[in-house]
Structure 1
Amino acid sequence: MMPQKPSERGAALLSVLLMVAVLAVIAATTLDRLSLSSKLSANGNALAQARMFTYATEAIAAARLEDLVARDAAQTTLAGDWLGKAQAIPIPIGSATASVRDAGNCFNLNSLVTGTDGQYVASTTGQEQMTSLMVVLGIDANTAPMLAASAADWADSNVTPLANGAEDDSYRSAPTPYLVGNRLYAHPSELRAVKGVTPAIYAKLQDWICALPDPVLSPLNVNTLLPEQAPLLAMLFPPGKMNLTLARSYLAKRPASGYGSLIRFWAAPEIAALEPSSLVQGQVKLTSNYFLLNTNVSFGELKLAGQSMIVASPAPARVVWRSWGEEE
């Protein structure tokens, strides 16, 4: 056997070192991918577990809300201190809290239309109430009616724009063209897509609007409407007709046991003097049926915030939509 020359031995050593380096890179990449895969799997399992806890919280809340509504069919009051109070939910690992608010005490975007069987026409009363709410919240009185008309066009079934409204042609010219929904609002965040609704305007409205599953005038429960929600009471009347201070003081002096009768609510001199229409008197309620459940689940490093809309009646109470996101 011929002895190797020094140059050949050096080349062989270099080849071996190169192979070792390549194998090291492959091994490191493989381990990194395995680590990433394990983390993704663990995160996925944690998310799935957190969602299961959220489902369980929904079931508990639905049962309790069903009992709340059934306890007194004539009225839903604040008795029991249930409104907005964070409650700890026992779970095997981690922690969870839940709170409930009356989801009917808001401006229902779907009140901008009326109709059945999927065919909807714009509602004048709904537009007037949205306009009044916007003015109360400090949105320009000239801009508000145009926004309300455009918001109604978004939900109605036809393609003919209302006066000052907006249908497909108004959106085709956008930098990223799109079309109107021509259906009921599924979530209040859809309002951001309506012509004229700027981020600043939506920021003013987002805490006051909702998208109930039915095209009905906002079913305000005056037994649960809080003084700080006075703009919702003022929106029932033309802009400027109900003073916010009056609305707050009237809600603040509500009987502890509730009004008991809508006649009692409307008979107060300061309210009767405003001469509410029969339509407005009919939309005000003493009971609640829509509730918004807010949940927060902490599971390991994961923090999951959720919202669920629950309809309590007719029994059994049911969830009509839910959403999740990372807890802020």
Structure 2
Amino acid sequence: MPDPRKPGERGAALLTVLLLVAVMAVVASTALERLALATRMTGNGGAIDQARAFADAGAEIARLRIGDLIAANPGKTTLAGNWMGTPQPIAVPGGMASARVRDAGNCFNLNSVVAGDNEANLKVRPVGISQFQALLQALGVDARQAQVAAMSLGDWIDSDSVPQPGGAEDETYAQAARPYRAANRFMVDASELRAVHGVTPAIYDLARPWVCALPTADLSPININTLLPDQAVLFAMLLQGQVSVAQARQLLAERPAEGYGSTVQFWAPLASQGINPLEEAANQVKLTTGFFGVDITVDVGGTQLVERVLIDARQSPARLIRRNWGSGA
């Protein structure tokens, strides 16, 4: 029987059907793309979880080996065994992993600009501030800029709201384009230094390789048996202008192969040259390492992850006290 509808109506119906088919095709295509994306995300998530598990295992292996290192010679931590900075391979199924250990105490502890263990009662420590200023000046920062940055760092961490001369408290930070307040607590990560008044991007870039945020207000525990000549700026910091960075580098290069057996042995040649550190600085020099940093890199199925951990070896057994993750090497 012939279709009673007019040709125009039949054309409109056909167009409607074609549009409906096109819409369904788009919907189906979108659904397939989302399914594929979800599948990839699930796969990536599984790979990341696996990589983290391998990294955690690597951190535990490093913790145990660091405990063995300390136990082998409790009175002295030296570079014997080539443990520092050398990538140590870790066997993992279907991928590669390595751990790199460093002395995490050979740095300026940003939290040492205050004294106290209770964050409700942190007071400025002048010797810590003067050491940070000396470090910045040894790195080439102008004396006035270094002083402002050091004073402001003390104000950033101490518990009160009264700025030191040249320092900065809440009133200064309230005038920023995006107002904020001083932390008045210990730093957890050295990157927090960027928020401190007087620390310009240029100063931060200079200081970052030499600073750390240890979980203590103790003065930087510099181990003279592991401090490298390339880290001479930290030794010059302790002596606050009594030696140049070049002189400090030479002194470290002359260290006995077996390391120093006592701090008296270390300071004696310097004393004969009229170089005498402040008592606090003399006491902060160590023969052993209390904090170790470990970077574990894992590559599994094309997924790369880096885990960075801080290990406290001041008491036995050594404890993992901080960790963070990143991607890439």
Query: Which TM-score tier does this pair reach, normalised by the shorter chain?
Result: over 0.9
Change (3 A) 1:133 1:163: same
Which SS does the other structure have where 1:133 is aligned?
A: helix
TM-score, normalization: structure 1? 0.96
Aligned residue runs from structure 1 range 173-252, under 5 A: 173-238=175-240, 240-252=241-253
Does residue 14 in structure 1 map to residue 15 in structure 2? yes
Aligned residue runs from structure 1 range 126-141, under 5 A: 126-141=128-143
Contact 1:149-1:165 within 8 A present in 2 as well: yes
Does residue 300 in structure 1 map to residue 301 in structure 2? yes
1:234-275 Cα distance to aligned partner (Å, 9 max, x none): 00122x321222211111111111101111001114676211
1:141 to partner: Cα distance: 1.1
Contact 2:262-2:287 within 8 A present in 1 as well: yes
Contact 1:262-1:286 within 8 A present in 2 as well: yes
Does residue 277 in structure 1 map to residue 278 in structure 2? yes
Q: Which residue of 1 aligns with 2:101?
A: 100
Does residue 88 in structure 1 map to residue 89 in structure 2? yes
Does residue 113 in structure 1 map to residue 108 in structure 2? no
1:16-48 Cα distance to aligned partner (Å, 9 max, x none): 111111110110010011111111111111111
AA aligned opposite 2:33: D
Could you tell me how far apart the structure 2 residues matched to 1:271 and 1:16 are? Answer: 99
Q: Which residue of 1 aligns with 2:3?
A: 3
Which SS does the other structure have where 1:45 is aligned?
A: helix
Does residue 74 in structure 1 map to residue 75 in structure 2? yes
Q: Which residue of 1 aligns with 2:153?
A: 151
1:317 to partner: Cα distance: 1.7
Contact 1:310-1:320 within 8 A present in 2 as well: yes
Which SS does the other structure have where 1:218 is aligned?
A: coil
Could you tell me how far apart the structure 1 residues matched to 2:20 and 2:88 are? Answer: 61
Could you tell me how far apart the structure 2 residues matched to 1:309 and 1:61 are? Answer: 11
Contact 1:69-1:289 within 8 A present in 2 as well: no
1:7 to partner: Cα distance: 2.3
Change (3 A) 1:117 1:170: same
Could you tell me how far apart the structure 2 residues matched to 1:308 and 1:272 are? Answer: 40
1:6 to partner: Cα distance: 2.4
AA aligned opposite 1:140: D
TM-score, normalization: structure 2? 0.96
Could you tell me how far apart the structure 2 residues matched to 1:180 and 1:95 are? Answer: 43
AA aligned opposite 2:221: P
AA aligned opposite 1:38: T
Q: Which residue of 2 aligns with 1:166?
A: 168
Change (3 A) 1:7 1:253: same
Q: Which moved more, 1:310-319 or 1:257-266?
A: 310-319
AA aligned opposite 1:290: F
AA aligned opposite 1:204: L
Q: Mind listing any 5+ residue stretches in structure 1 that lack a counterpart?
A: none
1:301 to partner: Cα distance: 2.5
Which SS does the other structure have where 2:231 is aligned?
A: helix
Could you tell me how far apart the structure 2 residues matched to 1:270 and 1:24 are? Answer: 85
Could you tell me how far apart the structure 2 residues matched to 1:272 and 1:73 are? Answer: 31
Aligned length: 327
